[in-house]
Amino acid sequence: MKWTNKGHELDDIGSKYLKTENIYIWGAGKQGKRLINTLQWLKIDSDCNIWFIDSNAFMYGKTYENAKILSPAQFFQVYDSSNSVLTFCCEAVYFDVLNEYAEHIPDRFFIAYAERLPRHDFLRCFVSVYLMYKHDKLLSHHSNYIITSVCNLNCFGCLNFNKYISKPAHESFDSFKKHIDIVFSKFDFLASFHFSGGEVMLNRELSNCLEYISETYGDRIFELFFVTNGTIIPNHELLRTMVKTKCGVLLDDYRASVPITKTTFPKIKQLLDKNGIWHNIAKAEYWYELGITDEETGLELPIDTLQKQHNECNVHYFQDFFDGKIFGCCYIGYANDMYENKANIYTPDESNDYISIKDTPKMEILEFRFGYTNKGYYDLCRRCNEMHGEKSIHIPVAKQAERSFDEG
């Protein structure tokens, strides 16, 4: 999307969302609980009535997390699009419901945690807009920080472009502190914040960073976690810090491709369970080959094609927060030549590809996170095969290139 009226691009939908009186969540399970707890943390339940819908007849009429559960038939009878919104608690529930109720689903709906369907993402597309127009509060639906570009794996198709990083390095505590202080100078809430890499646990500053963000801004973050490739067993100090800061883990399951994880993965999971540390397992069927290299390609692509590709890409969900900036595409953040420990294969357009958090008004930050840019696309789009698109290419998960393996 191309900026034409900065600071007012979302006024029309913002005025519509201000009329919301009822929020319906389809799916009264684990993900539904996660979602309604997020809304309660943001105090949106003080503004709107929140209801659950569930296909399990045993649950009809009961309450879950202080919200009444309706049957699908009851929901379809009472739903009024003029003052209500529907969100599915996750993509899996949406696709299940679609098979049975396709002709009854309202034209306007949302999906929580919608990685494959970002145009419907509830936190980004509804909640962040509602909070801004209702309360002048800026919410980040998803925020990350690359704490290191050092990795002990050598994966084909690494989306951090590790093979192009000539000087992999850890981020210092001071650089993280400076960055996160800038983030919270503008953002009122982060629904989700995580550290990623490289392999996060290789950076010995991880505990210090966790303690600082938790002690200083913990009440403004709903979920705090880090991503790990499942090769390194956390030490006692880190485990204590994780318990203290309520930090969770997204644990990659690479047991089919990385031999050492057959031993380390179950040990890590056992430790997390033993210490009561919440965690989710990430086991992908395939990875994407974006096709982004150090060579310029796609120079002949017309602007309307690039804008269409940009608008349909899921990158609006995964933007990169780093050095007091937001890179509109996370892969621009990883591939840029602005920092020595990045991949150095793309020169970002400083007028289009990223924004300075400190120097950008809240409303324009929100619009940028919606995908608005001065061009309506990024030049890196010319070189990308897309995710979840017609040009997408699938590759094996975590397939290793030749290199001696360091257990860390």
Q: Is 147 found in the same domain as 267?
A: yes
Cα separation, 317 vs 116, whole angstroms: 9
Least confident of 158-172, 193-207, 285-299, 378-392: 378-392
Cα dihedral value 208, 209, 213, 214, nearest 10: -50
Tell me: the pLDDT tens digits for 221-273? Answer: 999 999 999 999 999 999 999 999 999 999 999 999 999 999 999 999 999 99
Q: Is 407 found in the same domain as 258?
A: yes
Least confident of 299-308, 314-323, 367-376: 314-323
pLDDT reported for residue 404: 46
Q: Is 275 found in the same domain as 240?
A: yes
Q: Is 264 found in the same domain as 149?
A: yes
Q: Is 259 found in the same domain as 328?
A: no
Cα separation, 328 vs 322, whole angstroms: 11
Q: Domain holding 41: CATH number?
A: 3.40.50.20
Residue with tokens 């840019």: 373
pLDDT reported for residue 408: 40
Of 106, 135, 164, the last residue of a domain is 135
- How many CB atoms sit inside 10 A of residue 366's CB? 24
Domain housing 69: 11-135
For the chain, what is the domain count?
3
Q: Is 308 found in the same domain as 230?
A: no
Q: Is residue 320 part of a domain?
A: yes
Q: Domain holding 264: CATH number?
A: 3.20.20.70
Q: Which H helix or E strand runs over 69?
A: strand 67-70
Q: 52 or 114: which carries more pLDDT confidence? A: 52
- 108, 85 in Cβ contact below 8 A? yes
Q: Is residue 198 part of a domain?
A: yes
Q: Is 304 found in the same domain as 275?
A: no
Q: Is 406 found in the same domain as 269?
A: yes
Q: Is residue 6 part of a domain?
A: no
Q: Is 384 found in the same domain as 296?
A: yes
Q: Check whether 95 has a pLDDT greater than 70.
A: yes
- 366, 133 in Cβ contact below 8 A? no
- How many CB atoms sit inside 10 A of residue 131's CB? 22
Tell me: the pLDDT tens digits for 47-89? Answer: 999 999 999 999 999 999 999 999 999 999 999 999 999 999 9
Tell me: the pLDDT tens digits for 321-353? Answer: 999 999 999 999 999 999 999 999 999 999 999
- 294, 163 in Cβ contact below 8 A? no
Q: Is residue 86 part of a domain?
A: yes
Cα separation, 30 vs 27, whole angstroms: 8
Q: Is 143 found in the same domain as 94?
A: no
Q: Is residue 304 part of a domain?
A: yes
Q: Which H helix or E strand runs over 327?
A: strand 325-327
Cβ partners under 8 Å of residue 216, min gap 6 = 180, 184
Q: Is 127 found in the same domain as 245?
A: no
pLDDT reported for residue 117: 83
Q: Is 115 found in the same domain as 19?
A: yes
* 167-183 mean pLDDT: 97
Identity of the amino acid at 232? I
Q: Is residue 163 part of a domain?
A: no
Q: Is residue 122 part of a domain?
A: yes
Cβ partners under 8 Å of residue 282, min gap 6 = 227, 250, 251, 252, 253
Q: Is residue 164 part of a domain?
A: no
Residue with tokens 């929100």: 366
* 292-311 mean pLDDT: 90
147: closest CA among 93, 73, 226? 226
pLDDT reported for residue 403: 60
Q: Check whether 387 has a pLDDT greater than 70.
A: yes
Residue with tokens 């609006």: 316
pLDDT bin (cut points 50, 70, 90) of residue 406 is very low
The pairing of strands 84-88 and 22-26 is parallel
What is the maximum span of the chain, computed from C-alpha positions, in angstroms? 62
The pairing of strands 248-252 and 221-228 is parallel
Tokens of 255: 């047991």
- The overall average pLDDT reported for the chain is 94
Tell me: the pLDDT tens digits for 3-49? Answer: 999 999 999 999 999 999 999 999 999 999 999 999 999 999 999 99
